[in-house]
Chain A
Amino acid sequence: MNLLLPAPLLIPLLCATLSLLGRRAVGVQRFLAVAGCSLNLVVSACLLYAVDKDGIQVMQSGSWPAPFGISLVVDRLSAIMLVLSGLMGAAVAVFSLAAMDRHRPKFGFYFFYHTLLMGVNGSFLTGDLFNLYVWFEVMLMSSFALMSLGSERAQLEGGIKYVALNVLSTAFFLAALGVLYGMTGTLNMAHLATIVRSAGNQGMLTTVSLLFMVAFGIKSAAFPLFFWLPASYHTPPSPVSAIFAGLLTKVGVYALIRLFTLVFVTDAAFTHVILLAGAGLTMLTGVLGAAAQTEMRRILSFHIVSQVGYMIMGLGLLTPLALAGSVFYIVHHVIVKTNLFLVAGVIAFRTGTNELMALGGFVRTMPWLALFFLIPAMSLAGLPPLSGFFAKLMLIVASFREYSWVIAITALAVGFLTLYSMTKIWNEVFWKPMPPASSEAMAKVPWTVRDRVCLFSPIMALALCTVLIGICAEPLFGLSERAAGQLLNPDEYIRAVLEEAVRP
């Protein structure tokens, strides 16, 4: 167990270090990326198995007992998130073998890729609020670097917008941390949970919780501070935007779920209603923004925003089914969204553009690609029998049970509008005849067997996941229900972290 728990941090760190030392040998870096990320996936899957079987796993780093040292804690939610990050890391690493040009690895693409994964995994693993801040920063720094690597004009502009709001969010996070520490004298989340329940100054606590909500809301691109995401996600190379789309905002959502189920539940009537309202507005603005866009990755970026609304919706309702719906939705969304960005990446690889105007005819030129676009796109819109259908079903049933009509109807309407955006992409990119300029451009780009294997295998694997989750939803449904049960009964978490400390 001792080796397994920190492994999702140590493997990326080791890979990052080795890619830095071998920065001139692109082949070595590529091998390391695929091998390291696959190992990471295997380790995360083992962790998930162990956690689901034996309960919450805790490691006190440096053998310092719990409220004093930094605890690494894995419960079911963290383990699910770790598996997702491992899966996306491996898929995008394989994709990058063909889609990433040869000069970016020399400037540290793979180094930052690994540190990004380390930051993401660290955020899922840690049981300490300040440590969460540090992992956020690790993740941010690497994402800044990945975003601006290559220094193309659009990348730099997108980078500045991305940096601006994200740095502001970490400043809010830091300030909230300071006030919370001043009130409670601890930053260990389990310890905080025990103190907050008996603390006197509940009004101040609610204020602090709102500060956290703003900080994580910016991170997860929730309404009203989501503008950085659609302004920047379409600028970097396609593997980078695929991994960003899959993982980064979900870290913000994870942090929201963690804090607002473990620590800030004492004033749920107030805070969780705000979350719910924010979720509804996030869904709506995201999907309406997407309707106005004419670039594939930009449409998909706006849909990330609207999908984040669904995940927060489950948290806002705070019933077992709703929370299970959120967890299920995160799993579904990460897989599907990364897949769609990878498809956009293949199209950009062949034609050099993602503008809808310049594209067309892919249903004839690349029928398999059309199929692998259709599966995640229909899943995103929530058509049965794909994963998105069950994710949306759980959330909407949960909201009807709580008599939250407004949010339920919003969620349904947003689903229809998502279908509209997906059919728009389908019509423009796949169905209409291809403009002659693009087909000439496409004929010039080489399309080797190696490219096909590297580009298509991750897309196929992820599409298969979507279909499998849809056809046999039961295992994942059970797992997310158990995860939600664990989140709603924080005693198990608290006991696991704090009692471990007493044991020598």
Chain B
Amino acid sequence: MTEVYLSLVIGVLYAAGLYLMMCRNIAKFIIGLGLIGHGANLLIFTAAGLSTQRAPIVPEGVTIPVVPIVDPLPQALILTAIVIGFGLTAFVLALFLSAHEVEGTDDLEKMRSTDQ
């Protein structure tokens, strides 16, 4: 059942993200990017399979983990993706700030000097 809820959440995240990305305002655009990134992370988490097993940490005094454990790889993937997303968002924000400073506008429609 959780899968269904999570799928709905992913759908809402993607829809909201795409809607915001189509706005003309850059700030909304960046929020949209973030939402889509979160949607993708949640998608990995859900698609890799949900389970209620133990965390994949080796307990004290043993050398191999005690089964059953959950698959740690999706979490590692998501962690990496979150880190990259963090860096990307920070960069896009900095780009936005300097564009705003130079252009004096946050409207994407007004930034057309590079395409005709």
Give the Cβ gap from B102 to chain A, nearest Cβ, in Å: 5
Does B70 reach chain A (CB closer than 8 Å)? no
> Which residues in B have their C-beta under 8 angstroms from that of A144?
91, 95
| Residue of chain B at shortest CB distance from A155 | B114
Shortest CB distance B13–A (Å) = 11
Within 8 A of B (CB), among A162-185: 163-164, 167-168, 171, 174-175, 177-179, 181-183, 185
- Comparing A42-50, A226-234, A317-325, A372-380, the segment that makes contact with chain B is A226-234
- The 0/1 profile, CB within 8 Å of B marked 1, for residues 453-464 of chain A is 000000000000
Q: Which residue of B44, B102, B103, B112 is within 8 Å of A181 (Cβ)?
A: B44
Partner of B36, one of A159, A168, A182, A235: A168
Asked whether, in the complex, the Cβ of A141 is within 8 Å of the Cβ of B40, the reply is no
Binds B, one of A146-154, A344-352, A483-491: A146-154
Query: With A157-B111, A175-B40 in contact, do A137 and B88 touch (Cβ < 8 Å)?
Result: yes
For A164, list chain B residues within 8 Å (CB): 21, 29
Asked if B48 and A182 make an inter-chain contact with CB atoms under 8 angstroms apart, the answer reads: yes
User: By the criterion CB–CB under 8 Å, are A159 and B47 in contact?
Assistant: no
The SS class assigned to the B binding surface is helix
Of B26, B80, B88, B115, the contact of A141 (CB 8 Å cutoff):
B88
**B81 contacts the other chain (Cβ, under 8 Å)?**
yes
Complex Cα distance, B39 from A271, in Å, reads 26
- With contacts A141-B91, A171-B40 taken as known, whether A153 is within 8 angstroms of B21 at the C-beta atoms is no
* Interface of chain A residues 110 through 162 with chain B (CB within 8 A): 130, 133-134, 137, 140-141, 144-145, 148, 151, 153-154, 156-161
Asked if A154 and B47 make an inter-chain contact with CB atoms under 8 angstroms apart, the answer reads: no
B47 and A181: CB pair below 8 A? yes
Residues of chain B with a CB closer than 8 A to A230's CB? 115
Determine the chain A residues whose CB is within 8 A of the CB of B46 once the complex forms: 178, 182
Do B40 and A174 touch across chains, with their CB atoms under 8 A apart?
yes
Closest to A178 in B: B44
Give A229-259 as 1s and 0s: 1 = Cβ < 8 Å from B's Cβ atoms: 0111011000000000000000000000000
Decide: B114 and A234 in contact? CB cutoff 8 A: yes
Query: Closest approach, in angstroms, between the C-beta of A44 and any C-beta of chain B?
Result: 26
Asked whether, in the complex, the Cβ of B98 is within 8 Å of the Cβ of A148, the reply is: yes
Given contacts A151-B102, A181-B48, contact A161 B115 (CB under 8 A): yes
Contact of B77 among A130, A160, A183 (CB under 8 A): A130
Chain A residue at smallest Cβ distance from B14: A175
Contacts of B44 in A (CB 8 A): 174-175, 177-178, 181-182
Give every chain A residue within 8 A of B91 (Cβ-Cβ): 141, 144-145, 163
* Residues A178 and B40 in contact in the complex (CB < 8 Å), given A148-B95, A148-B98: yes
In the bound complex, residues from chain B placing their C-beta under 8 Å from that of A179 are 43, 47
From 15 to 43 in chain B, residues with beta carbon under 8 angstroms from any chain A beta carbon are 21, 26, 29, 33, 36-37, 39-41, 43
How far is it, in angstroms, between the C-alpha of A153 and the C-alpha of B9 when the chains are bound? 39
Q: Is B56 an interface residue (CB 8 A)?
A: no
**Chain A: minimal CB distance from B18 (Å):** 9
Cβ B21 vs Cβ A168 within 8 A: yes
Of chain A, the residue at the smallest CB distance from B89 is A167
The residue in chain A whose Cβ has the minimal distance to the Cβ of B41 is A174
Q: Are B77 and A181 in contact (CB under 8 A)?
A: yes
B80 to chain A, nearest CB (A): 7
Per-position binary interface string of chain B over residues 33-74, scored 1 when its CB falls under 8 Å from any chain A CB and 0 otherwise: 100110111011111110000000000000000000001011
Expressed in whole angstroms, the Cα–Cα distance for A72 and B46 within the complex equals 28
Query: Complex Cα distance A183/B41, Å?
Result: 16
Q: Which residues of A contact B114 (CB under 8 A)?
A: 154, 157-158, 161, 231-232, 234-235
**Partner of B84 from A134, A159, A163 at Cβ < 8 Å:** A134
A161 to chain B, nearest CB (A): 7
Select the residue from B92, B108, B114 with max chain A CB neighbours within 10 A.
B114
Provide the residues of chain B in CB contact with A234, threshold 8 Å: 114
A249 to B33, CA, bound (A): 22
Chain A residues with Cβ below 8 Å from B41 are 174
A161 partner residues in chain B, CB cutoff 8 A: 114-115
Query: Given A130-B77, A141-B87, A174-B81 in contact, is the A160-B99 Cβ separation under 8 Å?
Result: yes
A178 and B98 in contact, given A134-B80, A137-B84 (Cβ under 8 angstroms): no
Known A-B contacts A177-B44, A182-B49; the reply to A163 vs B95 at CB < 8 A is yes
Instruction: List residues of chain A with CB within 8 A of the CB of B2.
Output: none
A157 partner residues in chain B, CB cutoff 8 A: 99, 103, 111-114
Residues of B within 8 A of A130 (CB): 77, 80
Q: Which residues of A contact B45 (CB under 8 A)?
A: 178
Q: Which residues of A contact B74 (CB under 8 A)?
A: 178, 181
Residue of chain A at shortest CB distance from B33: A167
Give chain A residues whose Cβ lies under 8 Å from the Cβ of B40: 171, 174-175, 178
Closest to B78 in A: A178
How distant is the Cα of A157 from the Cα of B100 in the complex, in angstroms? 10
Contact of A167 among B92, B108, B113 (CB under 8 A): B92
Smallest CB separation, B9 vs chain A (Å): 14
Identify A160's interface contact among B26, B80, B84, CB under 8 A.
B26
18 contacts across the A-B interface (CB closer than 8 A): A134-B80, A148-B98, A151-B102, A154-B114, A157-B114, A159-B95, A160-B96, A160-B111, A167-B92, A168-B21, A177-B77, A181-B47, A181-B48, A181-B74, A182-B48, A183-B47, A187-B73, A232-B114
Closest 4 CB pairs of A and B: A182-B47, A178-B44, A231-B115, A174-B40
Q: A168-B36, A181-B77, A182-B44 are in contact. List 15 more A-B contacts (CB 8 A).
A: A141-B87, A148-B95, A153-B102, A156-B103, A157-B111, A157-B113, A160-B96, A171-B33, A174-B41, A174-B44, A177-B44, A178-B43, A178-B45, A181-B47, A232-B114
